[in-house]
Amino acid sequence: MIMGSIGSNLQEVKRRIDAACAASGRNANTVTLLAVSKTFDGAAVREAHAAGQRAFGENYVQEALAKIDGLADLRASLEWHLIGPLQSNKTRPVAEAFDWVHTIDRLKLAERLAAQRPPGLPPLQLCLQVNISGEASKSGVAPGELPALAHAVAALPGGRVRLRGLMAIPEPAAELQAQRAPHRALAALVHALNAQGLALDTLSMGMSADLEAAVMEGSTLVRVGSAIFGARA
């Protein structure tokens, strides 16, 4: 990684988001940039924070907890999102330390997070991960099982978790049109759930390689790692 480049990389990613918004008639302030800091250290997060970035995504619970701890002095102005797989036995520290979890793919996880979210904190914001490309190796709920899960999570009592939307990691594709198809499919799933009475406002989709396609299809939150922090080891 070239030192001092995080600020300029952030500017370039925002320029790409703005261009994709302009190309699709969207207002640029409807897309949140989540900086994916997995494998990068707290100093990199500090540098991005100094450049104005506030929302950060992490994949690995243990790595994230250490980083969140080391950046405790910035906690009030940071938002931490878990975007990697979550095991049932790791829900408690996640419920205590994070603001968002994007990878809910079964009711049990949401139930545990709801039970474990400390009362003094705002509700934990949740997205359901959908296996939108139908890849056997990918986690996420199958589209056919999504409505039942979404209604069950939205109906959890107690107000400790709030269902915000859907997240997906589509199969990589080189061409813009091929990239757009799975993002369009995820957007259609959100619209269908809202037509059934839910009030989802978040589409977590788009990464370094396909953020334009995702924004054109309605992404409200792009998760960008390597284009900000550099290639991962």
Ligand X SMILES: *Cc1c(COP(=O)(O)O)cnc(C)c1O
Q: Give contact residues for ligand X (rule: CB under 6 A).
A: 36, 38, 59, 83-84, 169, 207-209, 223-227
Question: Closest separation between CB of residue 59 and ligand X, Å?
Answer: 5
Q: Which residues pair with 203 in a beta bridge?
A: 166
- The residue written with tokens 């049932």 in the block is 88
Nearer to ligand X, 84 or 93 (CB): 84
Query: What is the rounded distance in angstroms from the CA atom of residue 201 to the CA atom of residue 74?
Result: 27
Q: Which residue number has the CB closest to ligand X?
A: 225
Nearer to ligand X, 133 or 226 (CB): 226
Question: Closest separation between CB of residue 18 and ligand X, Å?
Answer: 18
Q: Rg of the chain's alpha carbons, rounded to an integer?
A: 17
Question: Closest separation between CB of residue 144 and ligand X, Å?
Answer: 22
Nearer to ligand X, 83 or 154 (CB): 83
What type of residue sits at position 174?
A
Strands 124-129 and 79-82 come out as: unpaired
Q: Which residues pair with 162 in a beta bridge?
A: 125
Question: Closest separation between CB of residue 129 and ligand X, Å?
Answer: 8
Nearer to ligand X, 83 or 156 (CB): 83
What type of residue sits at position 31?
V
Query: What is the rounded distance in angstroms from the CA atom of residue 11 to the CA atom of residue 3?
Result: 15
